[in-house]
Structure 1
Amino acid sequence: MADDLAQDLKDALLARAGEALQHWPAPAQQPALLKYRENAVFRIVLADGEPAALRLHRAGYHSEAALQSELAWMTALRQGGLAVPASIPAADGRHLIALASRDRFAAQHADVVAWIEGVPLGQSGKPLAQPAEKQTDLFFRIGAAMAAMHDLADTWQPPHGFHRPRWDGEGLVGESPLWGRFWDCAGLSDQARTALSALRIRLQRALAKHADGLDYGLIHADLVRENVFVTDEGVAFIDFDDCGYGFRLFDLATALLKNRREPIYPALERALIAGYRSRRALSEESLALLPLFLALRSLTYIGWLAQRPEVPDAAERLSRYVAESLEISAALQIEA
């Protein structure tokens, strides 16, 4: 996504990254902009010669307490043996640095996390590049690592003041969902608005009816292809920016949603579930609700995109997201 940015924005982001980098022990350098989505992410080199990732957090997206909580959970997961980035403190020992408003930037926070050596599982909109057998192996590993993450979350005691968003009924289909009112956002046609409004009510009822007893706790909430790294040791998870409390099926649905067009999708779904079940229980009754969570996950992207008109091809993507959500939801056979 960084390649699509206007040069003046890139220049401003690089200057802001340079400002943030002054707080960490690092030689003079020009950070390399990798991604600009919720955060601006840069590859940097620290004083010891090791690469790391500098993150400029989107102003107003998460509170300082929420950002500190994200880093605390990542640290706990890493200490538990999960392959996730480690938080690297600034020169004064702080893990999160507040940057004052300046030029075109509002006040925001910055942090640095360890570099994960590996390559993303894939890119959205492009077919997976690995051979079919390798794909199923990777999805088994992703499922097992996801289950391990959920296990670690359940045994961890969050520190005082821990705060993360909730991907629950209110956060997904309530009056003010975490990623926006997908049924009532700019850019929708009247027909889409009507269809999504009706769908929201249907999904609200279905979730309320079936949610009791579902596995719920801390989740990553954004295990898309770009956030799963293939490493020499297996797989690693990055970008915990949207982590919070939610249904564990939401993590499974997120890992599957953008792979639905893959030629071997049924095999990928089976592999992910088998990997998950190799580490953690998942009943058939719960698994039957996976299509519901695929629909819920697809709707979040509509609200997310509507709040970010600067995204390239936003109108075309919005139309595609609406069509995908309605297609997935039309096939639901879950009683509301």
Structure 2
Amino acid sequence: MSARQAFAPTPAAAAYVGERFGLAGTALGAEPTARGLCGRIWELTAAGTRHALKELFWDDDQDEQEIRGRVRFETAARAAGVGCPQSLPTVDGDYLCRLPPELGNVYVRLYSWIDGRPLTPADHAAEHAADWLGDCLARLHRLALRDPGAGAPDSRFERVPTADQWQELLDALRAQRVEWADGLERLMPAVGELSELVVPLDRDALVMCHLDLTPANVMRERTGGFVLVDWDNAGPGSADHELAAALMAWHAPDGRARTDRVAATAAAYARAGGPGRVRDLSCFSGYLGTVLNNLYTQASVAIAADAHEEHRELARTKVRQVMANLPSRSALEQVGLSAENR
């Protein structure tokens, strides 16, 4: 992947975005309002109306046709009652916009503004959050959308680095005297055990999924409702796998299963007619593929000479977080059992 990090919220950048998206009187906030591994959000105002401008870090991941498939999914989800921001097109009808070299040469997308805030630990732990999660997933999966324009399933849900690739990475980390290299090596037996649970997706069962339904991608509106954001990873997936992944991300993020919350979400999902089930440990394949590939990728970015320092610093933080919270087979079994015995 190649990243560019030259964007600045200048009046010229705001004017260019306004021109491309058909907005007048545009201005950008001085600091981003949110930041993730794949991009950051800037507040863009236009004639008194707020919008969310997303700066996308990785050029190689951007494809207009795939984005249009995600927009169709977002639109169907909104019609089905899932709160989410609206993707806004350019004057040419595209959703992806590249700024010229003098303004950073980055890709951006524009969304409606959500008047809310990130979830707090209290929000996350509340019973109604567990219920909302199950209901939201069911609404997405009941759509059973199959969109040819969305592309093939992302390989990170089906394949993980080989033992040789991990060893190569460990050698590179030691060559640069990275302090957590030994700790990562000690995790290799666990990484190997979890890697065995990552399996190919059943092509006949693919439906459009959000694929990143974590607490970090949910906002709480001022009115009290929940809004699902960051649909940039949406694509073909398995309802079973997405249900299992959400249960882990919400109710066992540190490897400790909160079985009562797992059961509450699974019950809400079933009540709302969700078609997925956590049938066995293979249903955690997508979750484990994401965790292990993120660990490998972020450890690689942390020592990449061509990566921007901001990306390397965030990568180092993410690596430590994943290493400290790597799930165990026992945690997966507890979550699966609680989901089925709701």
TM-score bin (small chain)? 0.7 to 0.9
C-alpha distance in 1 between matches for 2:17 and 2:51: 14
* Paired residues of 1:221 and 1:250 also in contact (CA < 8 A): no
Q: Would you say 1:53 and 2:28 are equivalent positions?
A: no
Kindly provide the CA deviation profile for residues 240-295 of structure 1, in whole angstroms up to 9, marking residues without a partner as x: 11122223344332453365359993222222212211221344634x55666554
Unaligned runs of 5+ in 1: 1-8, 123-127, 176-180
Query: Quick one: percent identity of the two aligned structures?
Result: 20
Counterpart residue type for residue 226 of structure 1: A
Counterpart Cα distance in 1 of 2:124 and 2:60 = 41
Task: Determine helix, strand or coil for the equivalent of 1:236.
Answer: strand
Q: How far apart are the structure 2 equivalents of 1:85 and 1:95? A: 14
Q: Residue 226 of structure 1 corresponds to which residue in structure 2?
A: 216
Aligned to 1:33: 32
After superposition, give the CA deviation of every residue in 1:12-37 in whole Å (9 maximum; x if it has no partner). Answer: 43138524333231314233521233
Query: What TM-score do the two structures reach when normalised by structure 1?
Result: 0.73
Call closer, same or farther: CA 1:249–1:193 in 2, change over 3 Å.
farther
Distance 2:72 2:124 in 1: 37
| Whole-angstrom distance in 2 between the partners of 1:257 and 1:322 | 15
Say whether residues 1:328 and 2:328 are aligned partners: yes
C-alpha displacement at 1:137, in angstroms? 1.1
For 1:84, the equivalent position in structure 2 comes to 84
Q: Residues 1-336 of structure 1 correspond to what in structure 2 (within 5 A)?
A: 12-15=7-10, 17-18=13-14, 19-24=16-21, 25-31=23-29, 33-37=32-36, 38-47=38-47, 49-58=48-57, 59-102=59-102, 105=104, 107-122=105-120, 128-130=121-123, 135-152=126-143, 154=144, 156-158=145-147, 161-163=149-151, 165-166=153-154, 170=158, 172-173=159-160, 185=169, 186=173, 189=181, 192-193=184-185, 195-196=187-188, 198-199=189-190, 201-208=192-199, 216-231=206-221, 232=223, 234-252=225-243, 253-254=245-246, 256-257=248-249, 259-260=251-252, 261=254, 265-279=258-272, 280-283=274-277, 285-286=279-280, 289=282, 294-309=287-302, 310-311=310-311, 312=313, 314-315=315-316, 317-325=318-326, 327-329=327-329
Partner Cα separation in structure 2 for residue 319 and residue 214 of structure 1: 37
Instruction: Specify whether residues 76 and 225 from structure 1 end up closer, same or farther in structure 2 by C-alpha distance, changes over 3 A only.
Output: same
Q: Distance in 1 between matches of 2:65 and 2:241?
A: 24
Cα distance in structure 2, aligned partners of 1:93 and 1:316: 38
Cα deviation 1:168-195 (Å, max 9, x = unaligned) = 653x4266xxxxx777544562563474
CA distance 1:42–1:332, shift in 2 (3 Å): closer
Could you state the TM-score of these two structures normalised by the residue count of structure 2? Answer: 0.72
Is the 8 Å Cα contact of residues 153 and 235 (structure 2) preserved in structure 1? Answer: yes
The change in CA–CA distance for 1:314 and 1:100 in structure 2 (over 3 A counts) is same
Against the structure 1 CA distance between its residues 332 and 131, is the aligned structure 2 distance closer, same or farther, given a 3 Å change threshold? closer
After superposition, the C-alpha distances for 1:152-183 in whole angstroms (9 at most, x for unaligned) are 2x1x3526x4326425653x4266xxxxx777
In 1, Cα distance between equivalents of 2:154 and 2:52: 26
Structure 1 position 99, deviation (Å): 2.3
In structure 2, stretches of 5+ residues that fail to align are: 303-309, 335-342
For residues 167 and 92 of structure 1, the distance between their equivalents in structure 2, rounded to whole angstroms, comes to 31
How many residue pairs align between the two structures? Answer: 303
**Which residue identity lines up with residue 324 of structure 1 in the other structure?**
N
User: Quick check: which one's helix share is greater?
Assistant: 2
1:331, distance to aligned residue in structure 2 (A): 5.5
Deviations 1:131-150 (A, max 9, x none): 95xx1211111111111112
SS state of the match for residue 212, structure 2? coil
Alpha-carbon distance change, 164 to 96 in structure 1, aligned in 2, over 3 angstroms: farther
Counterparts of 1:150 and 1:90 in 2: how far apart (Å)? 29
